[in-house]
Amino acid sequence: MTPLLASVLEAAFVVVLVLAILLVAYGLSIKATRAVMRSSEEKRRPFACGELLRPSETGVPDASMYWAIWRKLLRSLYNTLREKVHTGVLSDWLFWMIIFMAVLAITLVVVMIVWTC
C-alpha cells in the first residue's frame, strides 16, 4: 500500500467516524428533546398568577401597542407628518429619500475622514 493511499484511507476513516459521532449525538439530542417537550395541558395554559383565563383574554396585539405608543407620545409629530408633509405623490417621497441618502452619505464620509485622522 502506498503512503498516499494510506493517508487518503485514514482521512476517509476519520471523516466517517466524525459523521457517525455527530449522527449519534443528534439522535440522542432529539430523543432527549422529545422527552422534555411532551405535550401537556399545563404547558398550554397561560400563566395568570393562579387565575384561570382563556387564551383569547391574555394577549395584547403587537400592532395595538405600537400604535398606542405612536399616537400618544408622538401625536403632534404624527399629525404634522400626515397632514402637512404627506402629499401622496411618489415624486415627493423620492425627493425626500434622495435628500436623506445624500445627508447620510455626507455624514458617513465625514465620519470616515475623522476616524482615519
User: Would you say residue 47 lies in a domain?
Assistant: no
Question: Is residue 27 located within the same domain as residue 69?
Answer: no
> Whole-structure pTM over 0.75, yes or no?
no
Question: Is residue 68 located within the same domain as residue 103?
Answer: yes
Task: Count how many domains the chain has.
Answer: 2
User: Would you say residue 56 lies in a domain?
Assistant: no
Question: Is residue 68 located within the same domain as residue 25?
Answer: no
Question: Is residue 35 located within the same domain as residue 72?
Answer: no
pLDDT in tens, 74-104: 788 777 877 877 787 888 888 888 999 999 9
**3-state DSSP of the chain:** CCHHHHHHHHHHHHHHHHHHHHHHHHHHHHHHHHHHCCCCHHHHCCCCCCCCCCHHHCCCCHHHHHHHHHHHHCHHHHHHHHHHHCCCCHHHHHHHHHHHHHHHHHHHHHHHHHHHC
pLDDT score recorded for residue 98: 93
User: Would you say residue 48 lies in a domain?
Assistant: no
pLDDT in tens, 18-38: 999 999 998 888 887 776 666
Q: Which residue segment(s) compose the domain that 70 sits in? A: 61-116
Question: Is residue 32 located within the same domain as residue 75?
Answer: no
